Chain A
């Protein structure tokens, strides 16, 4: 870690209240230049509020933040020239064409699409066939690419993308992240939020966020590796019966449905997962449930689910 002055973004005890709810609750983090940094969390976790605090749209109730060394409260006009922002809501003009939307956002920053072609070329190439089409007539994936293009068209020093892939099909999501990877290779700092945990692996580092608090910040691999308990994958026919039974298991920390299988976390830290797997199989067999149990590596989602449930338990214990 270097000094705060080198960070692309930092926040210290950043807090935003709406009436009685703490949307962002004393958040501390820093984003390094050139990093692709993800905020991962469910809807209502406070991601959009946090982004709006950083892009000068909200003023914090407590704490402070710097983006590119500038204070979003005091230096808003200088900062607005340097950041690219893609709001969570679709925010293009539906009655204007792709080309018109793009050239409008370019003109607002005193530039032109042609002059910025080097920056936007990889995205624009995909949009070009639809240049004359109205934004309202684009597919969801294309709309997001246009919005990204509009956020990039003034060659910003940092990009804030609030849930850019929400409501977009799986193929378009992958294409979108491929574009972000290319932009990151070009040296652009990107801060992105998403409710999709499978997207976390595309980030350099992720911050897991819930109820306005950051639960953990680390690389995706480190988040997974830090999973503290043995994790077992359970496959069987009667998933519902399995779920009910396993939740009664004396050593169950958590049981979650995960795709086609169930993920079982055993409370006995440090125990041999193979041993636990055969134990669990026999325990279920004794209850007339035939399953296949294998030790598995935790994913980001597992880590997040565990952290969330632990935080919730802590909140119940000490509100």
Chain B
């Protein structure tokens, strides 16, 4: 057996022997997908909406029926005559949205008048508030549009409708399923933990245990040590990518519109990026604790916050937006979303791929160079 093969075999043994860690590394990606898919989704279901109708008529009933029909998005809470009656219900959260009609709604519409309809939404959580508002507006706009072309029964048609109807449509993710957006980011995040954190720890552990001294006086070259440490985690990371993609396909029907092969190759590149960052940390840190904290603060948080995974890059303040350029996850998220949601190919993504490859090369060379040939 060659020195390198012997070294890789030893690394594999370390990983298999520590079955608790291994279980976490394999179980975590699956639980994260389920967690993000079910619990942390930002699309809002069952909006508790109430109606304020001083004088119910055919038109208000027709609109109310539209809300009731969309039972997945809305949970209609009833009708009152005055908005004040909803005040306490807004406060205790049993109503989160109110649609307020003026008196003589149908009559005034029929006269061709511009009639105001007010939508009041609980804005205590701005994210879901914005989404709830958009959902209500969508129903009102559609009703209005259909009324104008005479599709709404029992409601008098306007004489000469001459208004611009703004139709918005979300491309690639028309129903705004948040799980679709999360999965690419999640892959980036999971790989940072599995690859970067674990490699950082594994090299530092040799230093802490004193075995690094034996490795150093052996004929093993620094590059062999680094690559030998990487190899098993490349396999483990790749396994996690496949797990995350499989679970998100089977459970959440996340689309994969582009080439699966390209996605896997790009994932492999990103695994190498994460591993090279881990090695760079481990060559600088002298204790497992320092390595862990550096990986958490230096890699995991930027991956969560500056990659576009949770917060859009465009919404970041300018200095953070600049920093986000050196966060590899940012580029991987663009690549993965491109392939999965837009069906993009290499022709569209070569720039991001090149950036990712460059970052990897820099980290890997720096890591191998920093790995000392001697002690001290």
Contacts and interface: CB of A to CB of B under 8 A. Distances in A.
Interface of A: 52, 55-59, 76-77, 80-81, 83, 85, 87, 89-96, 100, 103-110, 112, 150
Contact of A110 (B3, B211, B213): B3
Contacts of A108: 3, 6-7, 215, 218-220
Interface stretch (B12-20, B42-50, B256-264): B12-20
Interface in B206-241: 209-211, 213-220
Given A87-B214, A89-B213, 16 more contacts: A56-B216, A57-B213, A80-B217, A80-B218, A80-B219, A90-B210, A93-B211, A96-B17, A100-B10, A107-B2, A107-B3, A109-B3, A109-B218, A110-B2, A110-B3, A112-B1
A59 B217 CA distance: 13
Consensus secondary structure, chain B interface:
helix
A93 B10 contact: yes
A91 B13 contact: no
B374 A107 contact: no
21 contacts: A52-B375, A56-B216, A56-B374, A57-B213, A57-B216, A57-B374, A76-B373, A76-B374, A80-B219, A87-B210, A89-B213, A91-B213, A91-B214, A92-B211, A94-B209, A95-B14, A105-B218, A107-B6, A108-B218, A109-B218, A110-B219
Interface of B: 1-3, 5-7, 9-10, 13-14, 17-18, 209-211, 213-220, 373-376
Contact of A81 (B219, B374, B376): B219
Given A80-B217, A104-B6, A108-B219, A58 B210 contact: no
Contacts of B376: 57-58
B209 A107 contact: no
Contacts of A83: 217
Nearest to A73: B374
Most buried by A among B2, B214, B216: B214
A65 to B, nearest CB: 14
A81 B6 CA distance: 16
- For the complex of A and B, list the 10 residue pairs with the smallest distance between their C-beta atoms, beginning with the closest: A107-B6, A89-B210, A91-B210, A57-B375, A87-B213, A108-B218, A107-B1, A104-B10, A85-B217, A95-B17
Contacts of A93: 10, 14, 209, 211
